[in-house]
């Protein structure tokens, strides 16, 4: 157990690519925490997907032992937090577990929207914040401008910002000293009943669920019995330890310390981020504030390309869910796509990560249907009484309109930072997506735009469009802002007069014609010509609002076919047959799998 | 002369019982591949090569030894057709052609109406050899005219002019019993009216047989590369191409040369017997580099293939592959070749010889779409169905 005065707990706040993980690696290296030969770039991002995408999905932690210039030994606990909005709740929990933050800003780029969202979380958690200007080795580095921007936009003093090159190691020592001298030591009482925060948890094949904790008061030892305050579940503690970053057992964890416990917990679902852990007997009854379970906000269907792989898909989804309490799933049957799962995610990145992991780690090719949000459908009641409210996760389940009183959709508050050259494009994009402007301010040559937007206009391709209209120079972040009533309808797509359930979407009534036309046109290009002509229609209820006709195939014959060509021709037919397997047969029409997503992408 | 169709229909009924071999039912031919050209055409994906020195004697030895070998395997058969294809067989010495034909007739009985075809390019040099080929036994030529427009001939990489082609055709007509010529249409910047005028002109030349191919851009050709790189502009879209196809049917029919196959038109009785062997799943021997053969031997259907490379084949003439074609693949071949013909295929033969029965539901779907016709035991593509034959085959052969 380390005395409180010699502990510093901190996190690093940064935008993707601003060098957070590299800086963390440097701190670890500088203090000799990991031997040179074990160093691997981006030590803390352990999943392939994290390394590839340069993002952190799970919170990670490392305990660094550091002898400061004053000659005293300190324990520095770094919690590396997810940087993406999808994992905002995990970020907020991690922030509550530490007392200070390094705000890392790329001195060639400046502050980005994501940095803002996370730094506000740090400010909310009462952190002491040390600004760090990174990448000063690059020619485009402009520390004065960026420091000024930090003061303008975020409103914290950046005069003492540390100038660092995580690449060359310049400024690393100064950063370590600043952690010791500028960040506060944690507070806590070793004699009080145990109160520890569950910061994160994950599944390990050998040890079961590993729980990352921050001890607030009291001490925790191996062999003790603990209780989770939210569920009252009791577990005997098998191990306690710290991350160096390898797991290293210790006798006990005391106030201010960050470490792990294992306790024969079978599923990650049994551990809730933000929960309070105490002793079974003589524990605290006072829960830490702000606990809430993570709620999925984006839903989509995942179907195996090959129907025979449905059971494999179920296996893989169940395994992934064991380690991810925020991911929900239930079986779904689609007339077009067969058996699959309707899955709920924290956001689009979360969706992509799970989908990539299924495809890569479990080798199952997937058809992903259009992402959708949860609508609140208020049914008509009897005798002027309000009817029940249904949470609609899948447009295919939309009840009969005549029984619906009204509907509400989730809204978000989006913050976009963009160079002013592209401001007009960004405003147009937001307006097109039914946005309501809340704020527009400038910091230097960059504009900060705040919009109230419907989540359903954002979940699909908003981020792609934003990147494309701003050539990648905009950054974007959002937070949920609750539900609001609007004129929403379910739009069905009929191909050859049959509704294709997987292509149904919820749209705003005013935009239905435009969306319907766009989808019909897209599908006309995506579906190959058949031997007959195929009407493609968009409809609301029984009313057709847009229509295209895919004309019949007129020409598909080999001009020359003689004795030597039979073999080649046979092979071509085989190949076409294999290609057909990648399509979904719907009535008499074959629809290519990519159509289910591509049809919804909007070009404007 | 070919037997009248009613007679063949009756014969087909008996054939099932007598279980005639494919060669007896649909003919027996010999294909000989000459792999050399004076220049390679940019659209051509056939096995052709440009070579400065060709040792015609060495080629003769190789061809003759192969003829001997196949003769041993097929004793007692009557040969209905011999076909010199390429490449450009009109680059062969007439003496070489004569020696090959002599050797063939030493081994097999030639049918009364044996068709002996040689593919020729319409340059004056080649036309000068026509009499020699005739003397050697060739009775039909197929002339690669390709276009009746000098600018387009150059675009197609052809080294003859329209005038040369016309002179060569006139000479061919006075030299051989039967003459075919080829045209390629749906070319770059070719309008419907352009093609109408060109085809009218071709029909005015009074041919008995015409092969009219829509330009196809094949991978691995110069055109294929240019097309992939975004070049070769002005090719017709599917709609214009189909309009041109139907115009072709109309004009040829009116001129008395209806289509008997997707791309082939003839006065009745003037159809290419040799190609009918392919389309009706007869037997044929394939000799020369890259030649394929199909032979029914001791009840098994054998597919043969030879090395593509001329030098390699010349070193060791013979086959690079010989395999039994499983029954289900024989059926597919019969379907995909036979449905190219206007006369269609026999469902009885498909079942009794090749063991395949088509799904009545699929046939019904295609019937309702008007893409096929069922006439007793005969299945054929309709006029509208023939240009989408690939789609029909996909439907018929889907699981």
Per-residue model confidence as pLDDT tens digits over B278-289: 999 999 999 999
Q: Answer whether residue A88 shows pLDDT above 80.
A: no
Smallest Cα distance from A559 to chain B, Å: 6
SS3 A25: helix
Task: Note the pLDDT tens digit of each residue in A26-54.
Answer: 888 888 776 555 555 555 554 455 545 44
Q: Which residue of A has its CA nearest to B33?
A: A564
Residue B259 pLDDT more than 90?
yes
Q: Residue A18: which of A94, A88, A85, A115 has the closest Cα?
A: A115
Q: How confident is the model at residue A497 (pLDDT cuts 50, 70, 90)?
A: very high
Evaluate if residue A193 carries a pLDDT over 90.
yes
Given a contact cutoff of 8 angstroms between Cβ atoms, the answer to whether A334 and A394 are in contact is: no
Instruction: For domain B19-278, give the CATH superfamily.
Output: Aldolase class I (3.20.20.70)
Distances (CA, A) of B287 to A185, B90, B118, B303, B322: 91, 17, 14, 13, 13
Higher-pLDDT residue of A291 and A241 is A241
Distances in Å between the Cα of B37 and the Cα atoms of A592, B44, B66, B108 are: 43, 11, 22, 30
Q: Is the pLDDT of residue A445 over 80?
A: no
Smallest Cα–Cα separation from A395: which of A499, A322, A502, A268? A502
pLDDT in tens, A526-559: 999 999 999 999 999 889 999 999 999 999 999 9
Q: Which two tokens stand for residue A556?
A: 């598909």
**Chain-chain contact of A553 with B391 (C-beta, under 8 angstroms):** yes
* A282 close contact with B: CB closer than 8 A: no
In chain A, which residues have their Cβ closer than 8 Å to the Cβ of B308? none
Residue A450 pLDDT > 80: yes
What residues of chain B, 80 to 109, have a C-beta less than 8 Å from chain A?
A: none
Q: Span B379-396, mean pLDDT?
A: 95
- pTM reported for the whole predicted model: 0.69
Sequence-separated (6 or more) residues with CB below 8 Å from residue A245: A28, A33, A34, A43, A44, A60, A61, A62, A63
The DSSP string of A434-475 is: T-EEEEEEEETTEEEEEEEEEHHHHTTTHHHHHHHHTTT--E
Are B292 and A569 an interchain contact pair (Cβ–Cβ within 8 Å)? no
Q: Residue A114 has what DSSP assignment?
A: H
- Strand runs labelled E in chain B: 28-34, 36-37, 49-50, 78-86, 109-120, 140-146, 178-185, 209-214, 259-261, 264-266, 283-287, 292-297, 300-305, 321-324, 345-346, 372-375, 378-381
B145 has a pLDDT exceeding 80: yes
Provide the shortest C-alpha distance from residue B266 to chain A (in Å). Answer: 16
Buried b / exposed e along A386-413 (16+ C-beta atoms within 10 A):
eeeebebbbbbebeeeeebeebbbbbbb
pLDDT at B214: 97
Cβ-defined contact of A563 to B286 (cutoff 8 Å):
yes
* A554 touches B at CB < 8 Å: yes
Question: If you average pLDDT over every residue of chain B, what do you get?
Answer: 93
pLDDT digits (tens, 9 = 90+) for A123-164: 888 899 999 999 999 999 999 999 998 888 888 899 889 999
How far does B219 lie from chain A, in Å, by closest CA?
Answer: 13
How much is the mean pLDDT over chain A? 86
* A286-296: average pLDDT: 76
The pLDDT value given to residue A86 = 65
Chain B: give the shortest CA distance to residue A555, in Å: 5
Per-residue pLDDT at A292? 67
Which residues of chain A from 574 to 603 reach within 8 Å of chain B, CB to CB?
Answer: 576-577, 580, 588
Alpha-carbon span A260 to A212, nearest angstrom: 4
Q: Pick A84 or B55 by higher pLDDT.
A: B55
Percent of chain B with pLDDT over 90: 86
In this structure, of A24-38, B196-210, B294-308, B331-345, the range with the lowest mean pLDDT score is A24-38
Residue A337 in tokens? 């796509």
Size of interface A-B (CB pairs under 8 A): 93
Cα–Cα distance list, B303 to A420, A479, B109 (Å): 70, 68, 23
What is the Cα–Cα distance from A200 to A214, expressed in whole angstroms? 10
Which residues in chain A are contacts of B245 at CB distance < 8 A?
555
Pairing of strands A276-279, A239-243: unpaired
Q: Which two tokens stand for residue A37?
A: 């030969």
As a whole number, mean pLDDT of residues B74-95 equals 95
pLDDT 10s digits, B11-24? 554 444 456 778 88
Taking phi over 0 as left and psi of -120 to 50 as alpha, with beta for the rest, B70 belongs to alpha
Say if residues A200 and A214 touch (Cβ distance below 8 Å). no
**Tokens at A107, concatenated:** 């001195």
């Amino acid at each position: 157990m380390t005395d409180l005065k010699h502990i510093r707990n901190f996190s690093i706040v940064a935008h993707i690519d601003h060098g957070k993980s590299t800086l963390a690696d440097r701190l670890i290296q500088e203090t000799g925490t990991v031997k040179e030969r074990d160093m691997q770039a981006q030590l803390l991002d352990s999943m392939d997907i994290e390394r590839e995408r340069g993002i952190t999905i799970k919170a990670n932690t490392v305990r660094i032992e550091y002898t400061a210039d004053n000659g005293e030994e300190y324990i520095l606990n770094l919690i590396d937090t997810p940087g993406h909005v999808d994992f905002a709740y995990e970020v907020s929990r991690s922030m509550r577990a530490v007392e200070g933050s390094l705000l890392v800003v790329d001195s060639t780029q400046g502050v980005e929207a994501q940095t803002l969202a996370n730094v506000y979380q740090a400010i909310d958690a009462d952190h002491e914040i040390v600004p760090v200007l990174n990448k000063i080795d690059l020619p485009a580095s402009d520390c004065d401008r960026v420091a000024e921007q930090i003061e303008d936009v975020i409103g914290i003093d950046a005069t003492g910002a540390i100038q660092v090159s995580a690449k060359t190691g310049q400024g690393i020592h100064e950063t370590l000293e600043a952690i010791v001298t500028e960040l506060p030591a944690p507070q806590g009482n070793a004699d009080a009943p145990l109160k520890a925060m569950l910061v994160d948890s994950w599944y390990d094949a050998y040890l079961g669920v590993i729980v990352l904790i921050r001890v607030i008061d009291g001490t925790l030892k191996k062999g003790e019995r603990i209780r989770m305050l939210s569920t009252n579940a009791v577990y005997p503690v098998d191990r306690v330890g710290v991350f160096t970053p390898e797991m290293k057992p210790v006798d006990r964890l005391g106030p201010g310390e960050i470490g792990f416990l294992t306790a024969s917990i079978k599923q990650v679902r049994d551990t809730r981020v933000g929960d309070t852990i105490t002793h079974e007997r003589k524990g605290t009854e006072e829960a830490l504030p702000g606990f809430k379970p993570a709620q999925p906000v984006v839903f989509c269907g995942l179907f195996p390309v090959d129907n025979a792989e449905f059971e494999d898909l179920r296996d893989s989804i169940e395994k992934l869910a064991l380690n991810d309490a925020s991911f929900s799933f239930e079986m779904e049957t689609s007339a077009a796509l067969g058996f699959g799962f309707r899955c709920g995610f924290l956001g689009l990145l979360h969706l992509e990560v799970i989908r990539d992991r299924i495809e890569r780690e479990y080798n199952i090719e997937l058809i992903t249907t259009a992402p959708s949000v949860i609508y609140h459908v208020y049914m008509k009641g009897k005798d002027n009484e309000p009817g029940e409210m249904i949470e609609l996760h899948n447009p295919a389940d939309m009840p009969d309109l005549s029984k619906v009183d009204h509907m509400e959709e989730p809204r978000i508050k989006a913050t976009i930072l963009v160079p002013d050259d592209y401001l007009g494009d960004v405003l147009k994009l937001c307006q097109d997506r039914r946005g309501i402007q809340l704020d527009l301010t400038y910091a230097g040559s960059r504009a900060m735009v705040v919009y109230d937007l419907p989540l359903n206009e954002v979940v699909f391709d908003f981020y792609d469009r934003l990147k494309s209209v701003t050539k990648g120079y905009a950054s974007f972040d959002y937070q949920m802002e609750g539900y609001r009533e609007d004129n929403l309808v379910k739009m069905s797509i009929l191909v050859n007069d049959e509704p294709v359930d997987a292509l149904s979407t919820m749209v705003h009534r005013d935009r239905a014609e435009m969306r319907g036309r766009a989808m019909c046109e897209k599908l006309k290009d995506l579906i190959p010509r058949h031997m007959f002509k195929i009407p493609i229609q968009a409809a609301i209820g029984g009313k057709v609002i847009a229509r295209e006709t895919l004309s019949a195939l007129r020409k598909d014959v080999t001009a020359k076919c003689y004795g030597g060509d039979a073999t080649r021709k046979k092979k071509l037919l085989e190949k076409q047959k294999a290609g057909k397997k990648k399509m979904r047969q719907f009535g008499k029409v074959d629809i290519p799998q990519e159509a289910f997503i591509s049809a919804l992408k909007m070009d404007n | 002369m070919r037997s009248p169709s009613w007679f063949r229909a009756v014969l087909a009924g008996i054939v099932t019982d007598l279980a005639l071999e494919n060669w007896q039912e649909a003919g027996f031919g010999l294909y000989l591949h000459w792999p050399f050209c004076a220049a390679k055409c940019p659209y051509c994906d056939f096995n052709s090569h440009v070579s400065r020195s060709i040792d015609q004697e060495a080629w003769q030895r190789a061809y003759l030894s192969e003829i001997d070998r196949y003769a041993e395997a097929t004793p007692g058969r009557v040969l209905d057709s011999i076909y010199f294809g390429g490449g450009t067989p009109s680059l062969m010495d007439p003496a070489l052609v004569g020696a090959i034909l002599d050797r063939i007739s030493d081994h097999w009985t030639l049918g009364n109406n044996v068709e002996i075809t040689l593919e020729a390019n319409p340059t004056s040099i080649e036309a000068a050899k026509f009499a020699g080929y005739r003397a050697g036994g060739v009775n039909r030529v197929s002339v690669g005219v390709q276009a009746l427009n000098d600018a387009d001939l150059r675009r197609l990489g052809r080294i003859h002019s329209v005038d040369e082609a016309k002179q060569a055709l006139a000479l061919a007509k006075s030299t051989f019993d039967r003459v075919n010529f080829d045209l390629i249409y749906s070319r770059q910047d070719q309008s419907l009216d352009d093609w109408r005028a060109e085809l009218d002109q071709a029909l005015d030349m009074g041919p008995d047989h015409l092969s009219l191919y829509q330009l196809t851009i094949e991978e691995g050709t110069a055109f294929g590369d240019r097309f992939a790189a975004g070049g070769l502009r002005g090719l017709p879209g599917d709609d214009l191409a189909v309009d041109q196809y139907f115009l072709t049917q109309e004009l040829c029919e009116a001129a008395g040369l209806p289509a008997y196959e997707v791309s082939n038109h003839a006065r009745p009785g003037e159809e290419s017997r040799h190609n009918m062997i392919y389309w009706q799943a007869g037997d044929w021997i394939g000799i020369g580099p890259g030649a394929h053969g199909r032979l029914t031997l001791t009840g098994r259907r054998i597919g043969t293939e030879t090395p593509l490379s001329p030098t390699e084949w010349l070193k060791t003439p013979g086959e690079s592959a010989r395999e039994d074609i499983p029954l289900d693949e024989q059926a597919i071949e019969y379907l995909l070749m036979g449905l190219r013909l206007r006369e269609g295929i026999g469902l009885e033969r498909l079942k009794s010889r090749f063991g395949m029965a088509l799904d009545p539901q699929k046939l019904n779907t295609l019937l309702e779409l008007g893409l096929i016709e069922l006439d007793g035991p005969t299945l054929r593509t309709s006029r509208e169905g023939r240009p989408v034959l690939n789609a029909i085959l996909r439907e018929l052969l889907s699981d």
